[in-house]
Structure 1
Amino acid sequence: MPPSLLLEQLLNGLQFGLMLFLLAAGLTLVFGIMDMINLAHGSLYMVGAYLTATFVGLLGNFWLAVPLAVLGTALIGMLLELTVLRQLYRRDHLSQVLATFALILIINEVVRIIWGSQPLLLSAPEELSGPVEILPGLNYSAYRLTIIGVGLLVAGLLFWLVNRTRVGMWLRAGASNREMAQAMGVPIRPLFTLLFGVGAGLCAIAGAFLGPILAVQIGMGESILILAFVVIVIGGIGSIKGALVGALLVGIVDTAGRAFLPLLLSQVAPPEVAANLGPALASILIYLLMAAVLFFKPQGLFPART
């Protein structure tokens, strides 16, 4: 197996893992601080992708469309928190699951009414449409490299926010002991609203940059939400560091499995069987990874609560 192929798949896994991190970071903070299961988190990822495609169509500029879509999705997230989700904080997890699942259906239908049932076209910026040579003999997509750079930049800003600011101190305190943080004067209600806005904005960034690679269509948030939950279970609920490590592990395992398992199976099975069985086994690998982590560390790799 050529080293260039290994490096290419490693970069693909890094790119996918960083986008998963943007989804999982907001989800793990909401779950860790508020003790709330928000299944509608993936719908905000979908809304961010749709808004990006809309603004690109209106403005003709991807780089102007992305911040507008992030702002719009953040405002939608905060509006949802103020009007609907705030009523669920003191409910049990079953009520939260049912209510936020209903939000998924409602948001899907609202998107269908506004944009129609057909997928929207969202293309990568023209200047990033070609490959670049990163090593002699190895060309890699300029757009995917940009995604890696954006993911690392946003991850760095998020770590700075959580670890170097007063708001981050409140978030870490809330993730460790919500009741004690509230007793010490942390403004929980405004913090929750801000947190939902930040989480929705991170979803929008992921939707904007994955839209040209995947598809901007109704229901696109549900499948990737499952992976986001796997990430926070592996990394530890409420932990940004755990979300990053878990997302990179899931991204690399998923990408490597889909790339290499069919090649390995083709050595011992007919090509048709290998082509169909390989991706299925790659999907199973992620859940085997989660099961292994939970067996040895039931609270995840880097739990916020100790």
Structure 2
Amino acid sequence: MVRGANDFKRCLTEKLLDYAAELSKCIPIRAVMVYADVFKNRNLLDTFIEKLGETQLVLVSREELDERLPEKVTVIRVPHIKLTRLGQMKIAILVGISRDLFLPDDIVLCLSGIAESGFLDALFILDIGDEFEFFDVHQLEHLPEVVRPEVFLRVLEIAVDLAVEGREGKPVGTLFIVGDTERVLEYCEQLVLNPFKGYSEEERNILDPSLEETVKEFASLDGAFIIRGDGVIETAGAFIKAGGVRVEIPPGLGARHRSAAAITAITDAIAITVSESTGTVMVFYGGKIIMEIERPMIIGSLERGETRFGGIPTKEGII
């Protein structure tokens, strides 16, 4: 019998792990992905690794996992940002595709929960072909040649922060264009004086944590950030002159999204947009949307430390 809250959480986690192990034996999945930050200790995870047998296990984490892991276990780093459970796994799959861990026809079983809560509370299955339905996943094979993975994740982290928090309490919309900078700049025109001009490359690299507040401050400027694949910011407030490029984007998206689609259609860059009206973050590559991350809903009294996601209040924060 499950008596207390801790017993319930442990029981739920064990049942989900057992069920995932059974499912892995009867459906054609490529791998099981587990949000490893859930676990305060790894005893349950170690037992799960044994139950999986030969099935590939992918641990998704915001931190470095430096302990020794079996060969069949792969680690994917995701940004240290507040995301829904589906958002966590979608980013992990995108990174996995770029690292040749997943193929377009793969099915992945996902287990997730709140970071450091000690228990899992969600199991879902993602069909990569359906998730990236309108995009040729094979194009992502060349992504690491254009943008360093850590740069992509850092820009995505800042974009999601802006989507969730805005700037000084106000929503912010912005556009980041990363990689293939020489070609991108051919289609750019400055709307304002370049605020990064005259600084050394070390001082304007987006991987430098001390630059985060500066980037968020300039996000309110009209125009786009142009960032090299190694993280060096070339400019902000740039207007994209690619209006003649014909691209198809969903109805309701504005000029920012059309610019993102157009510039990625004619260059090898990747673009990340933040919608001022909805807070949705979109990733564009090859002229198409390859990922959409909805802003987690924040409702209720923050003074009480209570937030809601999907109408479910939690004390831990956004889930």
Q: TM-score, normalised by structure 2?
A: 0.27
The structure where helix makes up a greater share of residues is 1
Higher relative contact order (CA 8 A, sep 6+): 1
Larger fraction in strand: 2
